Amino acid sequence: MKKKILIVEDDMTIQTQLQTLLAGNGYEALAVTDFSRTVSQVRDFAPHLVILDIRLPESNGFEICSQIRTFSEIPIVFVTSSNTDMDELSSIMLGGDAFITKPYNTAILLAKIAALLKRAYPSGQTEVFTWKKAALHLESSTIEYNGQKAELTKNELKILYYLFRNAGKICPRNDIVDFLWDNQLYVDDNALSVNITRIRDKLAAIGLTDFIRTKHRQGYLL
């Protein structure tokens, strides 16, 4: 089931772009349009998480947060352009779960959202991605094929994770490197090639050949 996220943000461009971003990352995103009845919209939509701007027309984020807290414990992410300590302190005091300042890094925002959702709604099941009978186990950092397993390093796991998530699509090298950087793995283009070669060797050892295909000048494809 898709997790529902409510966006409370008065800038129209940011609102729609956030919706696009969240929808693209597997969430159901809805934005508040009438800021005079934000709280009742939270009640009606029953989101799993709220992204809340502090400066809003007719009201402010702090007020809305404390109103939401009277009936719900859902994670609330404060997003603001004013990064004063008072704001941060107030947001924590009023029960906000995270405080992110604009202009935010989308990778960090998404990671924060994912972490908060995971904590608030533990699913209990381990995360496994499968594609063409190969299974990628995130928890144990292994890849499994026909009962045979191969251990993966941190870099290799993240690369495979990205490829599995975009399975069937061409993944440009640059985007893979971007993704690795977002995960605090600062590899460059050459190191990516080296890692891909190593992954192919490991896959060949468990009988998976031609699993990662190279698209010349475009990237890699599962």
Partner 1 sequence: MSGMQYLKNRLLTILVNLMGMWTLALFLLANGNQVQAVLLIFMVWLLVLTVYLWLTYVVRKRRLNKLLRMTEQLEERYLIAEIMPLPDQADEQVFYQIMKMAEKSMLEKIGEIQRERKEYKEYIEQWIHEVKTPITAMKLLCENNRFPFTREILAELENINQYTQQALYYARSEHTEKDYFVRETDLCEVVHGAIADNKYLLRQSNMQIRIDEMESRVYTDEKWVRFILNQIISNAVKYRAEQPVLHFSAVTANNRILLSVSDNGPGIPPGDLPRIFEKGFTGQNGRSGRSGKWGKDATGIGLYLCKRLCDKLGIGLAVYSEDKGTTVELSFQMNDFVIGVQG
For residue 43, give the 3-state DSSP assignment.
helix
**Would you count residue 108 as binding partner 1 (CB under 8 A)?**
yes
Q: How distant, in Å, are the alpha carbons of 15, 54, 94, 139, 213 from that of 10? A: 7, 10, 21, 39, 44
**Closer residue to partner 1 in complex, CB, 20/40:** 20
- Letters for 73-92 (x = contact with partner 1 by CB under 8 A, - = none) are --------xxxxx--xx---
For residue 58, give the 3-state DSSP assignment.
coil
**Would you count residue 178 as binding partner 1 (CB under 8 A)?**
yes
Q: How distant, in Å, are the alpha carbons of 55, 117, 134, 141, 214 from that of 152? A: 45, 26, 14, 6, 20
Instruction: Give residues 18-37 in contact with partner 1 (rule: CB under 8 A).
Output: 18, 20-21, 24
Smallest distance from partner 1 to CB 151, Å = 21
User: Are 75 and 117 a contacting pair, CB within 8 Å?
Assistant: yes
**Would you count residue 105 as binding partner 1 (CB under 8 A)?**
yes
Instruction: List interacting residues with partner 1 (CB under 8 A).
Output: 11, 13-14, 17-18, 20-21, 24, 81-85, 88-89, 101-108, 174-175, 177-178, 181-182, 184, 186, 188
